[in-house]
Homo-oligomer: A and B are copies of this chain.
Amino acid sequence: MESDFLKWLSDRLAAHKSVALGPGDDAAILQLAASGRCVVTTDLLTDGVDFRLSDVSPRRIGRKALAVNLSDLAAMAAEPTAAFVSLALPRDGALQLAKELYEGLLPLADKYRVAIAGGDTNTWDGPLVISVTAIGTPSARGTLLRSDARPGDRILVTGCFGGSILSKHFDFEPRVSEAMTLHKNYELRAGMDVSDGLSLDLARLAQASGCGAVLDTSAIPISPDAIKLSQQLADGLSPLDHALADGEDFELLLAAPSREAKRIVRDQPLDVPVTMIGEFVEQPGLWTKGQGGNLQILQPKGYEH
């Protein structure tokens, strides 16, 4: 099955300036930037945890498997260069499934000029597993870490939050262009992508930076799907609760010096809104401002691995 599939795939892979040798040998050879710096991320998705093959089209699964990796590269402000795709396919219908996964993945790779430079395609008696490793190139301004936010920096986010389970967790756009545009034109200090929940991921970013964060909960951009989900579930969780905790928003969470943050919010240089939702403070922990401006502890919520 693997050799049939590789024939099918090789017709669909275009030449790429960063790929000196593509699939077919024991390994691929990449020609990266002369700095020799590269950014590498890997995510493994499994049937029953990250998707249900019985409920979702393989195209959306394949697309998501690449998109989560591109979102991680965007979080580092690295330009995606190449990706490697490993599959464990249920034997029954394996070839067709492999093709459909790639039919979802390849258009996204094309859009962001990511070379599919290799992989490993297997069949087995277990459920579908898809593991992608993506390699990116930092811009001249370097990479964006989680650990460089400073007290006084403002908290910025792209897009809106909550209710991603209704569709965005598959169909989100990795914020690659947005990260590159902001990193190029403004001084950013730190960043990550929101995959496990806005409040939980913000608490992690603050902790990695050795500081705390005060969220202005009234400023958090709440997605229409958070409102819809809150109504559907009727479980007492407000749209804001969903925005704070749902996860898989795959938006950028950034720290920028106050003046830069204000410039960004004023300029609105992206196709999606950028919103200021609080600031970093010396006092460790996650906080909100209560009535009268007193700091109140906010319990971080989200998906704990």
Contact = CB atoms under 8 A, between A and B. Distances in A.
A138 B304 CA distance: 39
Contacts of A3: 304-305
A26 B304 contact: no
Given A34-B34, A76-B26, A40 B135 contact: yes
A49 to B, nearest CB: 5
B29 A41 contact: no
Contact of A129 (B30, B119, B129, B193): B129
Interface in A256-276: none
Contact of A40 (B35, B47, B118, B122): B118
A88 B129 contact: yes
Interface stretch (A105-113, A143-151, A219-227): A143-151
A139 interface: no
Contacts of A20: 37
Contact of A72 (B26, B34, B136, B193): B26
Contacts of A27: 39-41, 72-73, 75-76, 78, 136
Contacts of A182: none
B28 A37 contact: no
A49 B120 CA distance: 14
Interface string A60-83: 000000000000110110100010
A47 B129 CA distance: 12
Quick one: copies of this chain in the complex? 2
Contacts of A25: 76, 145-147, 192, 208
A172 interface: no
Contact of A86 (B35, B44, B127): B44
Contact of A1 (B42, B75, B120, B305): B305
Interface residues of A, number: 66
A236 interface: no
B43 A120 contact: yes
A36 B18 CA distance: 10
A33 B21 CA distance: 18
Interface of A: 1-3, 20-21, 24-44, 46-49, 72-73, 75-76, 78, 82, 84, 86-88, 117-127, 129, 131, 133, 135-136, 138, 143, 145-147, 192-193, 208, 304-305
Can you list the 5 inter-chain pairs with the closest CB atoms, starting with the nearest? Answer: A2-B305, A27-B41, A26-B75, A44-B86, A131-B131
